[in-house]
Amino acid sequence: MRWLRLYLRSRRVAPALAVSTATAALVWVLALVYSDAGTIDARAVSLTVMVAVAAFAATLGGADDALDHTASINWPVRRAGHLVVTAAVIVAPLLLTTVTDTRFAPLAVVVRNTVGLLGLTALGAALVGAALSWVAPLSWTLASLLPFIEPSTKPAMQVAGWLIQPAGTTAATVCATVLAVTGLAAYTLRGCPRRPAAETTPDH
């Protein structure tokens, strides 16, 4: 348990969890107060998930790059477990709302968007590091919210705006799955790249 506490602290998990949960609660309360629709729409779902994923992006890297690459610890298993648990932690508060009259739904869209954006973040972490890994999911989410991006029967539009496509849209599901699998594989096997020593040396 001591190792787990140290790991969670070094990854700054508590602030990320607070931001993720607070964002879901805020969006749910706003929908409850200002909307008569029982289902929170896909754009609000995407924004909520994006904020949660961006918050957890910082947890993909530790303070000590040398420790994160040491061969004495089975890091690939820990990295894969970190991503799986993170996805579950992001989905859990959204899933809880399904027992209320105002809910994040359908569940298939919540899960698809979470694993897709988290996979994109993990891929970014493996390529450019945890500090900048939130840029790609933020950019794709904002692009999907543009007024001319709508649910469509055209595959190209389904990929470009996969975050707001209805559940069961094949191209959107495939896009999210590819992002999730690619990000999981890249981050699990590679982790974050080593940073210059100047960025990890504490100030005196």
DSSP letters along 6-67, please? HHHHHTTHHHHHHHHHHHHHHHHHHHHHH---SEE-HHHHHHHHHHHHHHHHGGGS-S-HHH
Instruction: Centre a 10 Å sphere on the Cβ of residue 127 and count the other Cβ atoms it contains.
Output: 16
pLDDT for residue 138 is more than 70: yes
- Of the two residues 36 and 19, the one the predictor is more confident about is 19
Supply the pLDDT for residue 112: 97
Q: Which of 104, 96, 95, 89 is nearest to 14 (CA)?
A: 89
Indicate the pLDDT class of residue 65, thresholds 50, 70 and 90.
confident
Supply the pLDDT for residue 147: 85
Mean pLDDT (the chain, rounded): 91
Supply the pLDDT for residue 63: 75
Q: Please name the residues in contact with 178: beta carbons below 8 A apart, sequence gap of 6 or more.
A: none
Looking from the CA of 93 toward its CB, the CA atoms found within 13 Å total 20
pLDDT for residue 183 is more than 90: yes
Supply the pLDDT for residue 200: 60
Indicate the pLDDT class of residue 166, thresholds 50, 70 and 90.
very high
The answer to whether 98 and 104 have CB atoms below 8 angstroms apart is: yes
Q: Among the listed ranges 22-26, 68-72, 78-82, which one has the minimum average pLDDT value? A: 68-72
Mean pLDDT, residues 96-114? 94
Q: Quote the CA–CA distance of 165 and 162 in Å, as a whole number.
A: 5
The proportion of the chain whose per-residue pLDDT surpasses 90, expressed as a percent, equals 73
Q: Please name the residues in contact with 17: beta carbons below 8 A apart, sequence gap of 6 or more.
A: 89
pLDDT for residue 195 is more than 90: no
pLDDT for residue 199 is more than 70: no
